[in-house]
Amino acid sequence: MKVILAIDQGTTGTTVAVMNVRGKLLGSVNTEFPQIYPKPGWVEHDPAVIWQTVLKGIRSVLRKGLCQVGDIACIGITNQRETALLWERHSGKPVGHAIVWQCRRTAAFCDGLRRKGLEPMVRDRTGLVLDPYFSASKFRWLLNSIDGVRGRARKGDIAAGTIDAFLLARLSGNVVHATDVSNASRTSLMNLQTLDWDPELLKLFSVPRSILPDIVPSSGPLGQTSGVPGLPDGIPITGMAGDQQAALFGQAGFERGSAKCTFGTGSFILMNTGHDKMQSDAGLLSTIAWQLPGQNVPVYALEGGAFICGAAVQWLRDEMGIIKRAPDVEKLAEQVTDSGGVEFVPALTGLGAPHWDAEARGVISGLTRGAGAAHLARATLEAMALQNVDILRAMERDLGRRMGALKVDGGAAANNLLMQLQADYLGREIIRPKVIETTVAGACFLAGLGAGIWQDTSALENVWQADRSFPTRLGTSARRRRLQAWQQAVSRARSGS
């Protein structure tokens, strides 16, 4: 049976997975790699090491017998977004390290643009706020800080891109230099309306257009393998998307208003807004979800993220010492029926959407003599759910309609108590899929569509399967009171309060 090979290149590791044409994941291999911290607030990756983790993953899935090399019908790519790098166009050799999406080294430059009043223009064209999170200021830093690289770029020796473009170049023997629209929309250089690099933004960030990849749809013939150790030449590469967009696609979120929440270190929520580019009035980001073959207009999305989600449980484990393993938080929280008035706002690195308050700080309030570890554990899970309610309500205001059920994925989605709390506080059904590796599933679905394995998204709706649903059990008045108490706690965490 033919299979799809997926490469999921993440922030801390690379997963290579195999899916058959019926949509069943046959297995996967994850390879971690080192994080590099040259200075406080700086985060880098070695692209050469990332490429080796891809090759190692391919070797491992073949050695384990997850598939035979002759069975691979196509390849899909999904990746950590916004991370920026340069490489030699003809050899594929990286030029310096990649600057990771988490890196804050360009904060002063972005602040300077904001003081000049340029953020409204950037936001209007890209849907993004002015922040070092995105790729544009990272490209500028690389070009300005690596000796001789701007001159080499002018000569045509240097290519730039996000991780997807780098992997596509290496897989194709450095023949193809392209990025898909979902990744391009995270750079602060692509105009959401024209789907092309914006000349004024390129000038603003001092990035020459000649070093950037072509912008292509997320599905279709992107390239083919050439000179990849362990793989024959000619395997088509037919799907590519940023990890959060791939997760929405892997959750079969094809209809306008469909939303997914990925519970990871932070939580990332994407809502499909159809073919309408929506400018958020509620503190969210506008982005591109994907573009399929034959679509002149892509599918857009609203996005909101909470910086601290699963990381709050890690904090309970590592800094507070009240649990030994992250999964233990559920059992501890279940020892009490509520948080006993304890509120925990996990603004440990500021507040993300829809508040965007970088100076906010974490707050624990409502402590009494009877409060204990179980109450703090319960308050932590409640906070993880409540901050997502803030984001999703903002999305509903922007969209002008109520959302339906929310699909969930990520490691913490296995926590049944957290999922029930999410359903109760949101007032919507929560649905957990059988295939929890939704980024991998999305890469496979996009590649399969691009290769003609599936003809359209309606076929994929039959492939996607739910594992369990969590109906809301909390009454309207009780929900309203709980949300009011949460907003009071958030106000205490805000800077200037």
- 465-474 pLDDT per residue, tens: 889 999 999 9
* 8 Å CB contact between 3 and 18: yes
Identical fold at 3-244 and 252-497? yes
Query: What average pLDDT does the chain have?
Result: 92
pTM higher than 0.95, yes or no?
Answer: no
> What is the pLDDT, as a whole number, of residue 452?
93
User: What is the tens place of the pLDDT at every residue in 355-382?
Assistant: 877 778 889 999 999 999 999 999 999 9
Q: Is 464 helix (H, G, I), strand (E, B) or coil?
A: coil
d(CA 15, CA 5): 11
User: What is the tens place of the pLDDT at every residue in 302-314?
Assistant: 998 887 888 888 8
> What is the pLDDT, as a whole number, of residue 306?
83
Hey, what are 245's tokens?
Answer: 């967009």
> What is the pLDDT, as a whole number, of residue 496?
61
CA angle 416, 419, 421 (to 5 degrees): 110
User: Which residues share a beta bridge with 431?
Assistant: 407, 469
d(CA 89, CA 305): 34
Please report, for residues 155, 359, 405, 431, 495, the alpha-carbon distance to residue 389 in angstroms, rounded to integers and kept in the order given.
50, 21, 13, 16, 21
Give the containing element (helix H, strand E) for 13: strand 13-20
d(CA 318, CA 69): 43
pLDDT (average), residues 296-325: 89
What is the SS3 string spanning 184-214?
A: HCCCCCEECCCCEECHHHHHHHCCCHHHCCE
Alpha helices in 187-323 (DSSP H): 199-205, 243-250, 310-315
User: What is the tens place of the pLDDT at every residue in 113-168?
Assistant: 999 999 999 999 999 988 888 999 999 999 999 999 999 999 999 999 999 999 99
d(CA 284, CA 129): 9
pLDDT (average), residues 437-461: 93
Domain boundaries, the chain: 3-244, 252-497
φ, ψ (nearest 5 deg) of residue 139:
-60, -45
Hey, what are 347's tokens?
Answer: 């603004």
d(CA 423, CA 486): 16
* 8 Å CB contact between 377 and 322: yes
User: What is the tens place of the pLDDT at every residue in 213-238?
Assistant: 999 999 999 999 999 999 999 999 99
d(CA 256, CA 274): 5
Superfamily of domain 3-244: ATPase, nucleotide binding domain (3.30.420.40)
Question: Is the Cα torsion angle 139, 144, 147, 151 positive or negative in sign?
Answer: positive
> What is the pLDDT, as a whole number, of residue 12?
81
* 8 Å CB contact between 473 and 426: no
pLDDT (average), residues 66-70: 91
CA 411 to centroid of chain Cα atoms: 14
* 8 Å CB contact between 398 and 284: yes
Interhelix angle 438-450/243-250, rounded to 10 degrees, is 80
In terms of Cα–Cα distance, which of 328, 438, 346 is closest to 387? 346
Please report, for residues 118, 272, 308, 390, the alpha-carbon distance to residue 129 in angstroms, rounded to integers and kept in the order given.
10, 20, 19, 19
d(CA 426, CA 428): 5
In terms of Cα–Cα distance, which of 158, 152, 134 is closest to 84? 134
> What is the pLDDT, as a whole number, of residue 497?
60
Q: Rg of the chain's alpha carbons, rounded to an integer?
A: 22
Domain 252-497 classification at class level: alpha beta
User: What is the tens place of the pLDDT at every residue in 169-190?
Assistant: 999 999 999 999 999 999 999 9
Is the bond leading into 47 cis (omega within 30 degrees of zero)? no
Please report, for residues 138, 179, 407, 471, the alpha-carbon distance to residue 203 in angstroms, rounded to integers and kept in the order given.
14, 20, 40, 50
For residue 88, is pLDDT > 70?
yes
